[in-house]
Amino acid sequence: MAPDPGDVGRRVAHRRAELGLSRAEVAERAGMAPAYVEYVEEQPAQVTMESLMRLAGALETTPRDLMGGAMDLPPGRQGAARRPVLHKLDPDECRRLIAGGGVGRVVFTTESGPIALPVNFSVLEGDVVFRTAADSTIAEHARGTVAFEVDRLDDAMSQGWSVLITGSAERVDDPRDLARLRERTRVEPWAGGRREVYIRIRPAAITGRRISVR
């Protein structure tokens, strides 16, 4: 099935935002007019393979990723970079990386053993906040000590980072706290449905690693 042209534009815009680039900067990298980058992002444009390759190069990714062709594959299938460097991240850098929210994995223990589940999250005043359903496994078990992991992997460059938080999770029931979270977090679970239970993780420790290329 051919990729949806609108989906390509959304992936271009998302990747550009991840890199902190303006449309003009992407256009300069790709040798394109800024108006064309805007057109690709905002209209259901049919993009030629040549243009897609130039956009992918400018965005430090692959045409396959921009088309969504790697969605059913786990990350990290590319080989390691020739000269990788592993850095430890300090807590401030870890907080900066996850400040915008996104998708992370909450890790907790059930009667059957440890489990890790992906959730859409926001960060508010240093705490991780996400929503779940009242009858979900997370709502039942994700209380007390938990871990929370967020990462960003760039298969094209064989580099990326990960942040690990350990702390205490709690269900937010106080009406004033709930009103504040609804107003300030804007957490929208991808899974949809009625997910009106807010879980808050108060970090006790934050560590991180980054793999870069010399």
CATH number for the domain including 12?
1.10.260.40
CA distance 119 to 146: 14
Ranges 1-5, 128-132, 198-202: which has the least confidence? 1-5
Which helix (H) or strand (E) segment holds residue 12: the answer is: helix 5-19
The pLDDT value given to residue 1: 41
% of the chain at pLDDT higher than 70: 86
CA distance 108 to 101: 20
Q: In the chain, what is the straight-line distance between the N-terminal and C-terminal CA atoms, in Å?
A: 38
Mean pLDDT, the chain, whole residue set: 84
Domain boundary among 67, 98, 116: 67
In a domain, 168, yes or no: yes
- Helix, strand, or coil (residue 79): coil
pLDDT at 168 over 60: yes
Q: Do residue 168 and residue 198 come from a single domain?
A: yes
Strand segments, DSSP code E, in the chain are 84-89, 102-110, 113-124, 127-132, 144-154, 159-171, 197-213
In a domain, 99, yes or no: yes
The average pLDDT across 172-184 equals: 89
Q: Do residue 61 and residue 165 come from a single domain?
A: no
In a domain, 77, yes or no: no
Rg (CA), the chain: 19
Q: Do residue 95 and residue 200 come from a single domain?
A: yes
Q: Do residue 63 and residue 92 come from a single domain?
A: no
pLDDT digits (tens, 9 = 90+) for 83-111: 778 889 999 999 999 988 888 999 998 88
In a domain, 121, yes or no: yes
Q: Do residue 138 and residue 191 come from a single domain?
A: yes
Q: Do residue 130 and residue 188 come from a single domain?
A: yes
Residues 6+ apart with CB under 8 A from 21: 29, 59
In a domain, 74, yes or no: no
**pTM of the full structure:** 0.65
The average pLDDT across 171-176 equals: 90
Q: Do residue 97 and residue 190 come from a single domain?
A: yes
pLDDT at 27 over 80: yes
Query: pLDDT class for 2, splitting at 50, 70, 90?
Result: very low
Q: Do residue 94 and residue 134 come from a single domain?
A: yes
Q: Do residue 165 and residue 196 come from a single domain?
A: yes
Q: Do residue 136 and residue 30 come from a single domain?
A: no
In a domain, 172, yes or no: yes
In angstroms, the Cα distances linking 39 to 23, 30, 50, 58 are 10, 14, 16, 16
Domain count, the chain: 2
pLDDT at 129 over 90: yes
The pLDDT value given to residue 82: 63
The average pLDDT across 10-31 equals: 90
In a domain, 91, yes or no: yes
In a domain, 146, yes or no: yes
The average pLDDT across 13-35 equals: 90
Q: Do residue 99 and residue 129 come from a single domain?
A: yes
Q: Which structural domain range is residue 107 located in?
A: 84-213
Specify the CATH number for the domain of residue 161. 2.30.110.10
Q: Do residue 138 and residue 178 come from a single domain?
A: yes
